[in-house]
């Protein structure tokens, strides 16, 4: 469906919201207000120094990319939601990747390797982490988002930090549960060609 088919941007946003509500595991979708955006930007800034109980730094590239977009939606998920392809979390130290998340199947491949420590679906390269100095940096990368036949520009997903997730849950009265989560979706309207 071409964005040229919509007379207003509000119509386009509503169509994207309806599409997202059809995605398995998505429970609620809403437009992020300017007030919420400012609060979340502040929370993300504060969260940068509060990763790994203060022993690491955060770099939420996903939220940063989402917030560069013209339209921002937040959606809540349950355990049926299929996360984007890993890695969704990358740990770096000294300019090198020392850890990352992966699928359960991929994690099994690392389980017996002496250079790796497997914690669920998070893999730590013990050999690369040993002897590194400085705080580790936990990167939450932006992830592409397929909106089916809706043609929008630069659709990207971002996973919020814990403080931002808690803010959204409190502000919108969403259930606090380890089986529920929040994601942000940002996109731009594509200019129609004549």
Residues 1 and 74 grouped into a single domain: yes
4 band by pLDDT with thresholds 50, 70 and 90 = low
- Can you give the pTM of this predicted structure? 0.87
CB atoms within 10 A of CB 126: 13
CA distance 190 to 70: 11
28 band by pLDDT with thresholds 50, 70 and 90 = very high
CA distance 186 to 104: 28
Domain span holding position 44: 1-82+142-194
pLDDT tens for each residue of 39-78: 999 999 998 877 766 668 899 999 999 999 999 999 999 9
174 band by pLDDT with thresholds 50, 70 and 90 = confident
Residues 69 and 94 grouped into a single domain: no
Residues 74 and 47 grouped into a single domain: yes
Residues 111 and 129 grouped into a single domain: yes
Residues 105 and 160 grouped into a single domain: no
Residues 64 and 132 grouped into a single domain: no
Give 91 or 151, the one with higher predicted confidence.
91
Residues 72 and 149 grouped into a single domain: yes
Residues 148 and 113 grouped into a single domain: no
Given a cut of 60, whether residue 192 has pLDDT beyond it is: no
Total domains present in the chain: 2
Residues 111 and 42 grouped into a single domain: no
């Amino acid at each position: 469906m071409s964005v040229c088919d919509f007379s207003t941007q509000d119509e386009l946003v509503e169509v994207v919201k309806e599409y997202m509500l059809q995605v398995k595991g998505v429970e609620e979708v809403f437009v992020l207000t300017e007030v919420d955006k400012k609060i979340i930007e502040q929370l993300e800034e504060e969260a940068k120094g509060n990763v790994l109980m203060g022993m690491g730094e955060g770099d939420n590239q996903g939220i940063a990319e989402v917030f560069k977009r013209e339209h921002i939606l937040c959606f809540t998920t349950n355990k049926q939601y299929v996360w984007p392809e890993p890695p969704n979390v990358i740990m770096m130290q000294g300019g090198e990747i020392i850890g990352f998340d992966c699928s359960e199947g991929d994690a099994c491949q690392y389980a017996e390797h002496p250079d790796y420590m497997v914690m669920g679906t998070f893999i730590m390269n013990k050999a690369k982490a040993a002897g590194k100095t400085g705080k580790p940096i936990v990167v939450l990368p932006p992830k592409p988002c397929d909106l089916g036949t809706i043609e929008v520009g630069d659709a990207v997903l971002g996973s919020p930090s814990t403080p931002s997730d808690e803010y959204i849950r409190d502000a919108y009265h969403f259930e606090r549960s380890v089986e529920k989560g929040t994601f942000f979706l940002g996109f731009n309207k594509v200019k129609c060609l004549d």
